[in-house]
Amino acid sequence: MSDATVDRGRIPRITVKDLARQLGMSVSTVSRAFYDDAVIAPETREKVLRRAVEIGYQPNPLARGLITKSSRIVGLVVSDITNPFYPEVMVRLTEQFQAEDFNVMLVVASPTRNEEEAVRVLLSYHPDLVVMLATTLSSAASASCRKVGTPVVFFNRVGSDENSYAVTCDNVLGGRLIADHLIDRGHRRLGFVAGRPDASTNVDRWHGFQARCAERGVAPPASTGGVAFSYEAGFAGALDLLNREEKPTALFCANDILAIGAMDAARRGLGLSIPADLSVIGFDDIGMASWSSHALTTVRQPIARMIDRTTALALALARGNAVQPAVERLPGELIDRNTTRFIDGQ
């Protein structure tokens, strides 16, 4: 019974040695049983595997990683999680990785522990891959990953450097879709409530929106905000825009949470009715957007496909397959609910 140094009351774990001793085999043989492509007699493998489940042995992936240089850990770095869009993404990504026998190490970047620091400690665990699920552009973090050869893929955000992987919704296209939707309905005085200015989602949506307005000969939209993707920011942004000389008749908010805040400001703060007095449109199509109290017209991110693409890409990268750095932009879809309307005149 090995040298069971009782570590702080912790029970000594079962190891290959235990299994080997019990079966009268060498540790090498036992070890091989856990690899499908190892040369080992089928009956031997079966014996090992059967006994393993009996005594509850599982190879220690940490020790294994020391040898194989593969930890089967994927690091997930997250920062702004206030958007309900992200928890779902986190969970679904994690599920997918788990299904492929990768485990997720969660790291949160915050004011106290910034992204660079967070990535530094993450890297000490030697993840096979890191995926970034955050809203700000940071090249430093991805640079330190690259320095140690760890591939990184950005989810719903494009890295600031050329050679990184990213999968996002086509935010520029989304912005254009929204411009068309509003302009087609007769709106000419448009407003934009921005989220964080350093988020690629924010800038791309704005660019698309703006560009399409210009193409269709509509006056440049008024814009405000740029503090956060939050209810409060949406509330404040709408108030700002709607108190200006030239009141917009329609607001594009950089995401759904902003839009919900904006609607509350319009309704409760200003006594407006939506969509009668004001059209509002969001982006993301979070669950809440479909609630009858909001019934928000928005652009739905193709979240299932985005997650599929991310895991596929991630897994390929983690396996060491060479794949061209690229950003994949998947088109979103405009979901027309009840917060925009046709206006006459103009």
Partner DNA sequence: CTGAAAGCGCTTACAG
Binding residues among 32-61 for DNA as defined by CB under 7 A: 32, 34-35, 38-42, 44, 57-60
| Min dist. Cβ of residue 125 to DNA (A) | 11
Q: Assess contact for 273 and 256: CB atoms under 8 A.
A: no
| Min dist. Cβ of residue 52 to its own copies (A) | 12
The correct pick among 1, 11, 39, 304 for binding its own copies (CB under 8 A) is 11
Nearer to DNA, 25 or 104 (CB): 25
If you compute the radius of gyration of the chain from its CA atoms, what whole number of angstroms results?
A: 26
In total, the chain counts a number of residues equal to: 346
Q: Which stretch binds its own copies (CB under 8 A): 3-11, 16-24, 43-51, 195-203?
A: 3-11
Q: Does 10 bind its own copies (CB under 8 A)?
A: yes
| Cβ count within 10 A of residue 228 | 20
Phi/psi of residue 249, each to 5°?
A: -95, -10
Query: Which parts of 195-254 interact with its own copies (CB under 8 A)?
Result: 231, 235
Nearer to its own copies, 173 or 274 (CB): 274
Nearer to DNA, 13 or 244 (CB): 13
| Min dist. Cβ of residue 78 to its own copies (A) | 7
Q: Assess contact for 79 and 131: CB atoms under 8 A.
A: no
- SS3 of 147-189: HCCCCEEEECCCCCCCCCEEEEECHHHHHHHHHHHHHHCCCCC
The correct pick among 54, 55, 68, 140 for binding DNA (CB under 7 A) is 68
CA–CA separation, 76 and 244 (whole Å): 42
State the binding partner of 139 from its own copies, DNA, none, CB within 5 to 8 A by kind. none
CA–CA separation, 137 and 191 (whole Å): 25
Query: Which parts of 16-35 interact with DNA (CB under 7 A)?
Result: 16-17, 24-29, 31-32, 34-35
Q: Assess contact for 275 and 289: CB atoms under 8 A.
A: no
Closest by CA to 33, choosing from 16, 21, 45, 17, is 45
Nearer to DNA, 44 or 290 (CB): 44
Q: Does 63 bind DNA (CB under 7 A)?
A: yes
| Min dist. Cβ of residue 210 to its own copies (A) | 29
State the binding partner of 76 from DNA, its own copies, none, CB within 5 to 8 A by kind. its own copies
Query: Which tokens sit at 71?
Result: 């930890």
CA–CA separation, 304 and 174 (whole Å): 17
| Min dist. Cβ of residue 171 to its own copies (A) | 23
CA–CA separation, 234 and 284 (whole Å): 15
| Min dist. Cβ of residue 3 to DNA (A) | 5
The correct pick among 46, 55, 66, 320 for binding DNA (CB under 7 A) is 66
Phi/psi of residue 89, each to 5°?
A: -60, -45
Q: How far is CA 132 from CA 114, 154, 170, 346, in A?
A: 13, 5, 18, 45
Q: Does 268 bind its own copies (CB under 8 A)?
A: yes
Binding footprint of DNA on the chain (CB under 7 A): 2-3, 12-17, 24-29, 31-32, 34-35, 38-42, 44, 57-60, 63-64, 66-68
